[in-house]
Structure 1
Amino acid sequence: MSQERYSILLAPNPSMMTGPGTNTLLISSSKGAIVIDPGDSDPEHLERIVREGQARGGIRHILITHGHPDHVGGAAELRERTGVPISAFSRAGVPLADHEIPDGTTFDLGDTALRAIHTPGHRFDHLCFWLEREGILFAGDVVAGVGTVVIIPPEGHMGVYLQTLKRLQQLPIARIVPAHGPVIEDPQAKLSEYIAHRLERERQVIAVLNQLKQPVTLSTLVPLVYADTDPKLYAVAARSLEAHLIKLQEEGRAQIDAQQHWSLCLK
Structure 2
Amino acid sequence: MSASDKQPSLASLVQAGEAQTEAVAVTDFIFMVKDISNLYLVKTADGDLLVNAGFMDSAERNRALLAPHRSGPLRRIVITQGHPDHFGGAPALRDAGTELIAQRHFTDTCADFRLLAPYFRRRSFKLWGSTIKRKGPPNAPPGMPPVIEPDVVVDREYGFEQGGRRFELLSTPGGEALDSLVVWMPDERVVFTGNLFGPVFLAVPNLVTVRGDRPRSVRRYLRALDRVRQLGAELLITGHGEPVRGAGHIRASLDRMHAAVSFIHDAVVDGMNAGKDVHTLMREIRLPETLKLGQPHGKVAWAVRSIWEEYSGWFHFDSTTELYGVPRASVDADLVELAGGADALAGRAQGHADAGRPLEALHLLDIALRVEPRCAAALSVKKAALQQLQRESAGENLSETMWLRAEIAAVDAVLAGDGAVAP
Partner of 1:142: 196
Q: Quote the RMSD (CA, aligned, Å).
A: 3.4
Which structure exhibits the higher relative contact order, with contacts defined as CA atoms closer than 8 Å and separated by 6 or more residues?
2
Which moved further from structure 2: 238-247 or 55-64?
Answer: 238-247
Superposed, which structure 2 residues align to 1:1-267 within 5 Å? 4-11=28-35, 13=36, 22-41=37-56, 42=58, 43-49=60-66, 51-52=67-68, 55-79=70-94, 84-90=98-104, 91-94=107-110, 96-99=148-151, 100-122=153-175, 123-143=177-197, 144-145=200-201, 147-152=203-208, 154-185=214-245, 186-205=249-268, 215-216=277-278, 222-225=282-285, 239-249=302-312, 256-257=316-317, 259=322
Question: Which residue does the alignment assign to 2:7?
Answer: none
CA contact (8 A) 1:102 1:116 kept: no
Query: How many positions carry a matched residue from both structures?
Result: 238
Secondary structure, counterpart of 1:159 in structure 2: helix
Q: Which has the higher strand share?
A: 1
Provide TM-score, normalisation by structure 1: 0.74
Q: Indicate if the aligned counterparts of 1:145 and 1:178 stay in contact, CA closer than 8 A.
A: yes
* Deviation readout 1:150-188 (Å, 9 max, x if unpaired): 222634111111111122222232221111222122221
Q: Work out whether residues 116 and 130 of structure 1, in 8 Å CA contact, stay in contact via their aligned partners in 2.
A: yes
- Runs of at least 5 residues in structure 1 that lack an aligned partner in the other structure: 14-21, 261-267
Measure the CA separation in 2 of the matches of 1:230 and 1:175.
21
Q: Which amino acid aligns with 2:75?
A: R
Shift of 1:226: 6.3
What is the letter of the counterpart of residue 118 of structure 1? S
1:66 is displaced (CA, Å) by 0.7
Identity value in percent = 21
Q: Which runs of 5+ in 2 are unaligned?
A: 1-26, 111-146, 324-423
More helix by share: 2
What letter matches 1:7 in structure 2?
Answer: F
Q: Distance in 2 between matches of 1:148 and 1:102?
A: 27
Bigger Rg over Cα: 2
CA contact (8 A) 1:8 1:26 kept: yes
SS in structure 2 of the partner of residue 105 of structure 1: strand
User: What TM-score comes out, normalization by structure 2 length?
Assistant: 0.49
SS at match of 2:44: coil
Contact 1:138 / 1:178 at 8 angstroms: preserved in 2? yes
Distance change in 2, residues 1:113/1:232 (3 Å): closer
Greater mean deviation of Cα atoms: 82-91 or 39-48: 82-91
Tell me by how many angstroms 1:127 deviates.
Answer: 0.5
Deviation per residue, 1:19-54 (Å, 9 max, x gap): xxx2211111111110111121213123223x145x
